[in-house]
């Protein structure tokens, strides 16, 4: 029969960590889930705001295009028409660039808010772990 006395001595001298405080663990897990839920809600609200604003931009674009088509149908001399077309293209480009920036800012703002919430909860969680390990 093998001699396990060395293993027995090894395990006898070994200190196992204390059992975790289950109330604290459950409470921390609940706060983590609340933070994830809140971050997801913020991201969803941001996506909804972007989609709503995108639809408004598209509707305005269609209105502007209809107005432009009516304006171009009016009889004018070719030079005036060319100047008007150039001005419309310039305005359309500037509006598109502004719209893209606005949508990007909306996305960035909602993402930053969600990430900030998660980062805050992570920092709190690390403090909780530290406090629990100091108690043990």
pLDDT digits (tens, 9 = 90+) for 26-49: 888 899 999 999 999 999 999 999
Query: Could you tell me the pTM of the whole model?
Result: 0.69
Give me the residue spans of the domains in the chain. 20-135
Residue 16 CA to residue 14 CA, distance in Å, equals 6
Number of Cβ within a 10 Å radius of residue 39: 19
User: Which of 58-62, 79-83, 117-121 bottoms out in mean pLDDT, i.e. has the lowest?
Assistant: 79-83
């Amino acid at each position: 029969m093998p001699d396990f006395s060395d293993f027995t001595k090894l395990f006898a001298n070994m200190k196992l960590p204390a059992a975790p405080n289950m109330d604290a663990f459950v409470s921390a897990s609940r706060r983590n889930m609340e933070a994830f839920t809140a971050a997801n809600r913020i991201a969803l609200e941001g996506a909804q705001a972007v989609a709503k604003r995108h639809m408004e931009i598209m509707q305005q674009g269609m209105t502007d295009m209809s107005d432009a088509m009516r304006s171009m149908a009016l009889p004018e001399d070719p030079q005036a028409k060319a100047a008007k077309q150039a001005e419309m293209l310039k305005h359309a480009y500037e509006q598109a660039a502004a719209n893209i920036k606005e949508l990007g800012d909306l996305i960035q703002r909602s993402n930053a808010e969600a990430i900030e919430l998660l980062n805050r909860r992570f920092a709190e969680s690390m403090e909780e772990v530290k406090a629990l390990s100091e108690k043990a």
